[in-house]
């Protein structure tokens, strides 16, 4: 019997969505759908995507047209998630498996509350990218980078949906890791983002600053320490030590890229979420509370709130 090729939907065509487009286009062709509507759909159909200096023509469908897709990869910015829940609900039917590749630690629950947790696979992605306009550049992930999928409290080998996801990425450039402790992996990346993404965003410096400055390194480690305190209180055995992938000295991570481009950041999902959880647990997170307020103030600065006229 001939095996049918699954349909794959990508909601969000930024850096993460572009990684999937790059990796899956050749294998899945017309069965790979980028999901958008309105002006965004028109723009993607007309312009496609430029990924690592290669142009990709996209098969774009509206959420209604994508209803019943076999696998849906949610690749939105966290700031877009709640407003996109009606679209996700319109896409999903009873057999759809949903993989949320958003940063943070609660996107699966937010989506699952709307469509049912039975659809959800826990996941994360480790990738360093830079988006400028319609172009995305990233080194193709290798080693411990790439996509991680799993289900809390059980080995990856026990769920056939994880095997099906592994089949999706077989014979493609996409790196996939089947995780036996996906919650720890998600919290580890959450801690990495807070420690490495946020201090450089405030300072406006490249990643090499963590190696070259004792002061920047201290801020990084204190930020991570607060994540460890909250994670451990929740039963997640997160450690102080972490592995950071190699990057260019001038590399600017997503929060600094957002500030550079005057876009809203995901600070509510990072320090905002950690401070909130800390208060619920009676754990103070002073470094993250200060960072939250500083980045919120930088967003206000970008919006022109502090553009005061000079007085004669």
**Overall number of domains in the chain:** 2
Of the chain, the end-to-end C-alpha distance in Å amounts to: 83
Query: Which CATH number is 60's domain given?
Result: 3.40.50.720
25 assigned to some structural domain: yes
- What is the predicted pLDDT for the residue at 64? 97
- What is the predicted pLDDT for the residue at 308? 94
Query: Domain check: are 155 and 107 in the same one?
Result: yes
Query: Domain check: are 189 and 275 in the same one?
Result: yes
246 assigned to some structural domain: yes
- Check pLDDT > 60 for residue 1: no
312 assigned to some structural domain: no
Query: Domain check: are 159 and 247 in the same one?
Result: no
**Per-residue pLDDT tens for 56-94?**
999 999 999 999 999 999 999 998 999 999 999 999 999
175-202: average pLDDT: 96
Domain boundary among 180, 196, 217: 180
**Nearest one of 112, 136, 134, 128 to 248, comparing CA atoms:** 128
64 assigned to some structural domain: yes
Which domain covers residue 111, as residue numbers?
8-180
- What is the predicted pLDDT for the residue at 279? 98
- Check pLDDT > 80 for residue 312: no
228 assigned to some structural domain: yes
For residue 124, list its beta bridge partners.
148
- Check pLDDT > 80 for residue 309: yes
Domain boundary among 134, 152, 180: 180
291 assigned to some structural domain: yes
Domain boundary among 139, 154, 180: 180
Query: Domain check: are 162 and 194 in the same one?
Result: no
- Check pLDDT > 80 for residue 131: no
Query: Domain check: are 123 and 49 in the same one?
Result: yes
- What is the predicted pLDDT for the residue at 288? 99
Query: Domain check: are 164 and 266 in the same one?
Result: no
Query: Domain check: are 212 and 115 in the same one?
Result: no
Model-level pTM?
0.91
**Nearest one of 145, 169, 149, 144 to 159, comparing CA atoms:** 149
CA distance 75 to 43: 18
**Per-residue pLDDT tens for 192-234?**
999 999 999 999 999 999 999 999 999 999 999 999 999 999 9
Q: What is the mean pLDDT of the chain?
A: 94
Query: Domain check: are 157 and 296 in the same one?
Result: no
Query: Domain check: are 293 and 231 in the same one?
Result: yes
Query: Domain check: are 118 and 100 in the same one?
Result: yes
**Per-residue pLDDT tens for 251-276?**
999 999 999 999 999 999 999 999 99
Burial of residue 273, with CB atoms counted within 10 A of its CB: 0-12 exposed, 13-18 middle, 19 or more buried = buried
pLDDT bucket at 142, cuts 50 / 70 / 90: confident
Query: Domain check: are 191 and 165 in the same one?
Result: no
Burial of residue 232, with CB atoms counted within 10 A of its CB: 0-12 exposed, 13-18 middle, 19 or more buried = middle
Query: Domain check: are 64 and 77 in the same one?
Result: yes
307 assigned to some structural domain: no
- What is the predicted pLDDT for the residue at 3? 59
- What is the predicted pLDDT for the residue at 127? 87
Query: Which CATH number is 222's domain given?
Result: 1.10.1040.10
31 assigned to some structural domain: yes
pLDDT bucket at 2, cuts 50 / 70 / 90: very low
């Amino acid at each position: 019997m001939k095996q049918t090729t699954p349909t794959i939907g990508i909601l969000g065509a930024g850096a993460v969505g572009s990684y999937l487009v790059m990796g899956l286009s050749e294998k899945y062709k017309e069965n790979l759908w980028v999901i958008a509507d309105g002006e965004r759909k028109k723009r993607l159909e007309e312009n496609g995507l430029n990924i690592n200096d290669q142009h990709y023509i996209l098969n774009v469908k509206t959420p209604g047209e994508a209803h019943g897709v076999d696998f849906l990869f949610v690749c939105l910015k966290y700031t877009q998630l709640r407003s996109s829940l009606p679209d996700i609900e319109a896409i999903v039917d009873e057999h759809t498996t949903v993989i949320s590749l958003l940063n943070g630690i609660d996107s699966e629950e937010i989506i699952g509350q709307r469509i049912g947790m039975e659809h959800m696979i826990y996941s994360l992605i480790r990738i360093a990218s830079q988006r400028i306009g319609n172009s995305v550049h990233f080194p193709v992930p290798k080693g411990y980078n790439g996509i991680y999928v799993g289900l809390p409290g059980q080995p990856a080998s026990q769920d056939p949906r994880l095997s099906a996801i592994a089949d999706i990425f077989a014979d493609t450039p996409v790196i996939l890791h089947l995780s036996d402790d996906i919650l720890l992996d998600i919290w580890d990346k959450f801690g990495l983002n807070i420690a490495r993404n946020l201090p450089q965003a405030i300072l406006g410096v490249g990643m090499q600053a963590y190696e070259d400055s004792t002061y920047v390194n201290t801020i990084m480690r204190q930020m991570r320490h607060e994540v460890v305190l909250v994670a451990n209180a929740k039963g997640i055995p997160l450690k102080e030590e972490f592995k950071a992938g190699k990057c260019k000295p001038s590399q600017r991570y997503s929060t600094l890229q957002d500030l550079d481009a005057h876009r809203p950041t995901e600070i509510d999902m990072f320090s905002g979420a950690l401070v909130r959880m800390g208060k619920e647990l009676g754990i103070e997170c002073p470094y993250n509370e200060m960072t939250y307020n500083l980045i919120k103030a930088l967003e206000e600065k970008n919006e022109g709130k502090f553009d005061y006229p000079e007085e004669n």
